[in-house]
Amino acid sequence: MAATDKLFAGSIPEIYDRYLVPLIFEPYALDLAARLAKADPRDVLETAAGTGVLTRAIAPRLDATARMVATDLNQPMLDHAMTRLRDGRIAWRQADALVLPFTDRSFDAVACQFGAMFFPDKVQGYRQAHRVLRPGGCFFFNVWDKISENEFADTVTDALAEVFPQDPPRFMARAPHGYHDVGLIREQLAAAGFADVSVDAVEHRSTAASPRDPAIAYCQGTPLRNEIEARDASRLDEATEHAAQALALRFGSGAIVGRIRAFVITARR
């Protein structure tokens, strides 16, 4: 994985939260929060919290006496998340999911919204979740299906290959949509100590007010921006506009709808 795949800084957190969260993340956050709430946990850890979409979905479902620690590798993402949610039960902390700074068996549930694909060492990330869970506790997380099953991301990726044909930016296919082998995920969870694992394929429809919104979301609100700017920073607006045109050609020029698909995994300690 390229170093820039994990860099969410500058204006990315704000654009990510404004455009990408409602576009693709909110329905899965609600789904994951509902699954977690059924376990009625008192101590919850979230890794890869990003701008806090899952944190905000979980908070209303927590008992008044519960506590939650929301962590992310990128402090700029947490800084933005903290402006969106003030709740005395929730602590925000910069932390690496592969080296969690918490004692063994200290949480009833661990949640991770679309973060596992960014773990440089998946088994180590899962092993850390297993370590901090109490017996009977659950690790709830989700990962995107392959890019062809996620239509807006697929269209934007193909469009950028036309802008940079000699060196196409492949962040979306490589990172967010590059970890979808359910058999491999089960094997890695087992290697980390999880014996009870369930996987559900969950499909939603992604809606946008115009083709330009998802173009901005992907090209300027994700590390895909880092790849575009590494090739030619002066062409960011051009690349975004070309992606918008490709989305309009495929889905229409007004409000657009595309398929999104992910896998939701529950692993019990």
> Does residue 44 contact residue 111 with C-beta atoms inside 8 Å?
yes
pLDDT score of 16: 81
pLDDT score of 1: 53
pLDDT score of 34: 98
**Spans of the chain, pLDDT less than 50:** 3-10
For residue 238, which phi and psi values (nearest 5 degrees)?
A: -60, -45
pLDDT score of 35: 98
- Report if pTM > 0.85: yes
pLDDT score of 6: 43
Angle at CA of residue 219, ends 217 and 223, nearest 5°: 95
Give the other-Cβ count within 10 Å of 67's Cβ.
16
pLDDT score of 17: 85
Per-residue pLDDT reduced to its tens digit, 152-193: 999 999 999 999 999 999 999 999 999 999 999 999 999 999
Work out whether strand 256-268 and strand 133-144 pair parallel, antiparallel, or are unpaired. Answer: antiparallel
Any idea where the domains of the chain sit in the sequence?
A: 3-146+171-205+261-268
Give dist(CA 193, CA 93) in Å, integer: 26
What is the amino acid identity at position 251?
F
Give dist(CA 130, CA 135) in Å, integer: 9
**At the top level of CATH, which class does the domain 3-146+171-205+261-268 belong to?**
alpha beta
